[in-house]
Amino acid sequence: MGLDKFCSADGSDPFWDWNRTWHVGNPDLTQCFQSTVLVWVPCLYLWVCAPIYFLYLKSHDRGYICMTHLNRAKTAVGFLLWIVCWADVFYSFWERSQHDSGASSSTQAPVYLVSPTMLGITMLLATLLTQYERLKGVQSSGVMLNFWLVAVLCATVTFRSKIIQAINEPSTVCVFRYTTFYIYYTLLLISLLLSALSDQPPLFSEASKDANPCPEIGASFLSRISFWWITGLIVTGYKRPLEQKDLWCLNSEDRSQRVVPQLVRRWNNECLKVKRPEEKTLYSPKKAPRGERKEGVPVEESEILIMKTPQKTREPSLFWALCLTFGPYFLISSLYKIIQDVLMFVGPEILRLLIQFVNDSSAPSWQGYFYTALLFVCTCFQTLILQKYFHVCFVTGMRLRTAIVGAVYRKALVISNAARRTSTVGEIVNLMSVDAQRFMDLITYINMIWSAPLQVILALYFLWQNLGPSVLAGVAVMVLMVPINGVIAMKTKTYQVAQMKSKDNRIKLMNEVLNGIKVLKLYAWELAFKDKVSAIRESELRVLKKAAYLGAISTFTWVCAPFLVALSTFTVYVMIDERNVLDAQKAFVSLALFNILRFPLNMLPMVISSMVQASVSMKRLCVFLSHEELQEDSVERRAVAGCSDSISIEDGVFSWSRNDTPTLKRLSVHIPDGSLVAVVGHVGSGKSSLLSALLGEMEKLEGSVSVKGSVAYVPQQAWIQNATLKDNIVFGQERKESWYHRVVEACALLPDLEILPAGDGTEIGEKGVNLSGGQKQRVSLARAVYCDCAVYLLDDPLSAVDAHVGKHIFEKVVGPQGVLKDRTRVLVTHGLSFLPQADLILVMVEGEITEMGSYLELMARDGAFAEFLRTYANKEQEDDESDSAPKRGLENGLPAAVIGQNHTSTSAVRTEGEVLGKKAKNAEVGRITEADKANTGRVKLSVFWEYMKAIGVVLSCISIFLFFSHHFASLFSNYWLSLWTDDPVINGTQPSREMRLGVYGALGVSQGIAVFCYSISVSMGGILASRYLHQSMLYNVLRSPMSFFERTPSGNLVNRFAKETDTIDSVIPSIIKMFMGSMFNVVGSCVVILIATPLVAIIIPPLGILYFFVQRFYVASSRQLKRLESVSRSPVYTHFNETLLGTSVIRAFGEQERFIRESDGRVDHNQKAYYPSIVANRWLAVRLEFVGNCIVMFAALFAVMARESLSPGIMGLSISYALQLTASLTWLVRMSSDLETNIVAVERVKEYEDTEKEADWRHDQSSLPPGWPTAGNIDIRGFGLRYREDQELAVRNITVAIPGGEKVGIVGRTGAGKSSLTLGLFRIIEACEGEIHIDGVNIATLGLHELRSRITIIPQDPVLFSGSLRMNLDPFDGYSDEEVWRALELSHLKSFVSGLPDKLNHECSEGGENLSLGQRQLVCLARALLRKTKILVLDEATAAVDLETDNLIQSTIRTQFDDCTVLTIAHRLNTIMDYTRVLVLDKGEMAEFDSPSTLITKRGIFYKMAKDSGLV
């Protein structure tokens, strides 16, 4: 042996000696091994790592750290260690010289010189590395910590050996070497401690700028691998619910500004590689001779020359771009995964050794403890590696999502219009939400693609060693399971699609019900619609039931697979050969290996389907990111020297996309600075396209365009952001108060600000829902004016506003005296009155400018323009005449009076101060509705009890019993296996193996039956519960009064019917199954371990308490983090949605950068909540797996201690259960927190049980005479009502008696209480005082349906529901077809309906969109004719109907409802001039009540109104 010579000259000190180190009660390593291997290992580690680490530090500079006490201490200790090592070397030289001079012949071994020298150099390297780390800003180093740890471990062995030597052989001790070694050992321990601490943050680091930096950056290495640094946040979350301000800033390498540009850069490089030279299209028209134009047939021939260039067809690869961006960081995870895969097989190996140890009574007992310690260390190491692996995966997934969202957003801002048309807004938003999410989910599993086969191969290798070829039987069963599960998955998918379809229909119907709830209540139709929704729900539950059976089969194969595999393998093994004995080692090691095999085989199909989905997403993203972009250079922005033109187009030819025919042809326009240009022409003549061409939104095929200075653009459809009104106008510019006031005043927005609850601080809903069309257009205009640009492109901003507001805006803003008088203005308009004031008019016909010049020039020419004027002028004249009568009522959402006063600027100035003063008071009022609250705190037990009651208590108990029996059978079968393995071997065989095998098989079968039954019972229970919960919620919502629907946003209600119901349908049952399963697993494992080694009873309670605390801590924080994350997710998508609708505006104003920053900010804001939730999961897993590892260790430890009394079978059983326990524990917490998160759905569905309800629909003993009301007398006595508790009475002390058959009109200004009176009549709002009698019956004593079904209303806005026309007329099917046709004939719809292919079964679309407004109004009339009750209320909505239909309706009512009492709320007085009497309301009180003629002679309110309408 060379090494023996190296250690001692005469070979007396061997390198290795089995008798000293293994087969002995008190083991020790040889001197030679200690002074070579144990010294060299740490040195080698550091020398291998140092160069790589050095390069890493060189490229990752974080700024340097100032010299601190910690650093000084590290350096000092390092130098001391170096000195100690050199002292050893010098001592060896000194000894040599002594030996040489002395007579002693023994020469000293070279090892005493080589090892200390190596060690000394290494210590010097370590000290230098520590300093280099300081310069590069490393606060805590894993490399160095590991080095000191290895050094200490190696030195500890030597330390023990030296002490034993000193006790046993004191004569051989060398005092100097011993002293230096003890000093060396102490210094090593100090170094280890110092390297575990973290240094202060480096100077000039980015993190120091953050308001709330993430503690991860400054955490020590140990804190990082155990995720200790997040504990602070989790403790906070346990004490109180976490809030937005508790979250840390993102680490700089996870932020959008770092991540997105990397991906965008790589993707652009990819695109450049495959850039195809584009086809050049040359368009050269041949001018047609003038003469041919007269016939009105434009003759135009054009030659299109296409020059083809050779092209490559390779697509740019997004996959490659992603790999280059995220690959390097992600590769670390693959490294972790390999280590973890190998470590997985250490458990079963050690189990084998332990069983061998128990069987071999001659083995020294320290070996057992050694195996136990090894098992503990390996499992702990495996835990840390696995969690680190998941952490890397999740962080990569998070960055990937950020990058994709950012890239899609940036692309959406530059994509050309042609490309934009290929995908809808919804599809593009999906790229962001769904597809980015798919990638994120896949990243976690993608390593399984190579890791699963690796695990399978390793497992099979160990199994083959254990059991030989009979393993193949088990593998065959496993392989068979895969296609079965595949088929089930496919089938489940089809069921899912069917269920989604029913669900969509149900939600659509619910949506309509909630939108038309007022009509349902007025007609008393709630029950009919409740039945319709229930019918759809039933079909949905039928599909769910089928899916549940399938799910039960798949759970059955899932749970029974491991058992069947074991059974088949063991059967084959003992049947092949008499001599094959199943002993504990073979049985339990195989079971442990089979358990490992289960995971990769189940994961593979999942990963593959996940990859298929991701590849589809990849394609979609790739297509979107490869769309062509707008030409940057199509519009020149620089001013042409010596040219006074603000805008000029030379020979321009434009189209919307490369391949279309040109939309605009032969354009040559020069617009001087500061002129007002009007663009006119028929619809579709290319006016808006002209503006788009100036903005560079169109493809420029020929010619040149130049625009001087900045541009502001007002689109035809106003684009409004979901922000405050002020933010919409200011649009990212700096605030200039006085200018802002001027703009608001000029754009006629002051009266609007008075009406809005919080002035200009009012939040505008998405797409401007709480503004009228005219208001939106004015805000859009104000935004452009505020921006103060050189060129204004206005695309018909005056069309949506009324004539006089339009006039005001033209005068104050656009016209020659307006705010913009010195700017260049291009105004597309249909308003002819403004044309005389324009400097230049462009007349467009079919994409060409046919005439241009001033108004007078064009009139003189008498061309197309003059003709155009003549056609339209007549029409405008008529309009003007009708306008000359002052308009009453609301105009565009504003009282006319307010607008009238606005023309006098004095009053405007007065209001300005008031309006803006309101803002301070009412910032809260500006919120629209009450938002959905995120619940906080723990879920109450009562919720679980509610759910159990919904399932049915008996069924719940049966399910629990089935769970129990399944786990009992499973435990007993494994216990039976352990008894079998302990059977004595007689003549090389086990005598009773057939009996053993039979019982084992029978137990397995019973286990399978139990699994199948509990799976079915839980799913069925879940379906019963969701049926019950949905029905009661539907009933409760329909029973709620109108005020409830006004207060609650329909989104919240739809969410309850969609998302929460879906959770109850499909998520909760499966979570309950998994929760129960893992709970019984944990309990079962503990029971087995307790039976085997009762001593564990001492350990389980404290570990149980620790587990419980960790779990409670975690659940509190994780639940809140989930909520915060989902709350911050929707703003990302809403903002994106908005951006897509307004890209042209954003580009015109040049605000792209700001919007990109805003989007990035929102994504980061969302990831800020997501990142801690990932880390919290890892934190939990590390803690729980540690608890599990402790249980494994104690099970093994006590088994080793009690090895005399334990049989190997029981020990194998105990430890194989303990090895599974870790996974079950983690899963249990995951499931229990999921259960808590999801059971909230039950709570939210039950929420509406306690809200206020309407009066009863029907009374049991109805005291009503049949056919009531017979006469239709209405007697109102001292009646008054209010809308809300805290408000004034809307109507008060009204006393009116109306005899049957009278026709009464109800009139009054807006807000006088006309509608309130009818709502009181139908008891939509209950009376506060007084009462109403109909035919002598007090209506307050009736059931609501009894009342509402016997009086009829034709409501103001005609609401139709999707369904057949017949259903819309008669949802209860109470009338025959003849009666329905008769009603249609009387309502003048018969000819229309007969002409439809499906006649009465004609499908109305949602809201009756496929009928015109007039037709819908007539359908409502037909409903009234069908019911033909004695009392008819007309909420006269003829404003929506043209005069012809109006006359039809009036005449029908006069003839058909001749003998009925008719109450009409009139907006047009001419309809009620022939009524018996008129009731005039004023401020909620009765002002006048008499016949129309009498009232006119009285000259009161009615007379004024009639005069306004031009009736007197």
Q: Which residues contact 1057 (CB under 8 A, 6 or more apart)?
A: 506, 507, 510, 1030, 1033, 1034
- Strand residues in 232-357 grouped as ranges (E): 280-286, 301-307
Whether the predicted pLDDT of 1050 surpasses 80: no
Q: What is the pLDDT of residues 13-28, one digit of tens each?
A: 788 888 778 888 888 8
pLDDT at res. 388: 92
Which has more pLDDT, 737 or 299? 737
Q: In what order do the strands lie in the sheet with 676-681?
A: 711-714, 791-795, 824-828, 676-681, 840-845, 848-853
- Strand residues in 312-441 grouped as ranges (E): none
Which has more pLDDT, 762 or 455? 455
Q: What is the pLDDT of residues 1119-1166, one digit of tens each?
A: 888 888 877 887 888 888 888 888 888 988 888 899 999 999 999 999
Look at 45-54, 191-200, 591-600, 731-740 and tell me which has the smallest mean pLDDT.
591-600
pLDDT at res. 756: 75
pLDDT at res. 945: 87
Helix, strand, coil % in the chain, rounded to nearest 5: 65, 10, 25
CB 1254 within 8 A of CB 1041: yes
In this prediction, residue 904 has a pLDDT band, given cuts at 50, 70 and 90, of very low
In this prediction, residue 1391 has a pLDDT band, given cuts at 50, 70 and 90, of confident
Look at 633-637, 701-705, 817-821 and tell me which has the smallest mean pLDDT.
633-637
pLDDT at res. 1047: 75
User: What string of DSSP letters covers 1112-1134?
Assistant: HHHHHHHHHHHHHHHHHHHHHHH
CA distances from 883 to 478, 809, 879, 890 (A): 83, 18, 6, 14
pLDDT at res. 504: 81
In this prediction, residue 385 has a pLDDT band, given cuts at 50, 70 and 90, of very high
- The average pLDDT across 641-647 equals 74
pLDDT at res. 47: 93
- The average pLDDT across 1224-1228 equals 82
pLDDT at res. 336: 92
Helix 1152-1201 / helix 231-239 crossing angle, nearest 10 deg: 90
- The average pLDDT across 149-166 equals 90
pLDDT at res. 104: 46
Enumerate long-range contacts of 234-238, CB under 8 Å, 24 or more apart. 234/1113, 234/1114, 234/1117, 234/1176, 234/1179, 235/1113, 236/1117, 237/1113, 237/1116, 237/1117, 237/1120, 237/1121, 238/1112, 238/1113, 238/1116, 238/1117
In this prediction, residue 301 has a pLDDT band, given cuts at 50, 70 and 90, of very low
Phi, psi (rounded to 5 degrees) for 183: -65, -45
- The average pLDDT across 1053-1081 equals 84
CB atoms within 10 A of CB 531: 11
Percent of the chain with pLDDT over 90: 11
pLDDT at res. 208: 62
Q: What is the pLDDT of residues 511-537, one digit of tens each?
A: 888 878 888 888 888 888 899 889 999
pLDDT at res. 873: 60
Q: Which residues contact 258 (CB under 8 A, 6 or more apart)?
A: 252
- What value does the mean pLDDT of the chain take? 81
Q: In what order do the strands lie in the sheet with 1461-1465?
A: 1352-1354, 1431-1435, 1461-1465, 1303-1307, 1477-1482, 1485-1490
Look at 801-805, 933-937, 1152-1156, 1230-1234 and tell me which has the smallest mean pLDDT.
933-937
Query: Any idea what DSSP says for residue 199?
Result: P
Structure-token pair, residue 94: 């000194």
Which has more pLDDT, 155 or 422? 155
Whether the predicted pLDDT of 705 surpasses 60: yes
pLDDT at res. 913: 39
Whether the predicted pLDDT of 292 surpasses 60: no
In this prediction, residue 897 has a pLDDT band, given cuts at 50, 70 and 90, of very low
Q: Which residues contact 6 (CB under 8 A, 6 or more apart)?
A: 32, 36, 109, 110, 111
Look at 202-211, 293-302, 977-986, 1351-1360 and tell me which has the smallest mean pLDDT.
293-302
- The average pLDDT across 111-116 equals 84
Q: What is the pLDDT of residues 1315-1342, one digit of tens each?
A: 788 888 888 888 888 888 888 888 888 8
Give the separation between CA 552 and CA 488, rounded to whole angstroms. 10
**What count of residues does the chain have?**
1512
Query: Any idea what DSSP says for residue 765?
Result: -
Greatest mean pLDDT among 27-31, 140-144, 182-186: 182-186
Whether the predicted pLDDT of 299 surpasses 90: no
- The average pLDDT across 398-425 equals 85
Cα 769 from chain centre: 23
Give the separation between CA 727 and CA 783, rounded to whole angstroms. 9
Give the separation between CA 1214 and CA 1210, rounded to whole angstroms. 6
Whether the predicted pLDDT of 914 surpasses 50: no
In this prediction, residue 403 has a pLDDT band, given cuts at 50, 70 and 90, of very high
Helix H, strand E, coil C: the string for 1199-1231 is HHHCCCCCCHHHHHHHHHHHHHHHHHHHHHHHH
pLDDT at res. 875: 46
Three-class DSSP category at 1463: strand
Which has more pLDDT, 603 or 839? 839
CB 1235 within 8 A of CB 1075: yes
- The average pLDDT across 1006-1030 equals 89
Whether the predicted pLDDT of 297 surpasses 70: no
Residue type, 1221: L
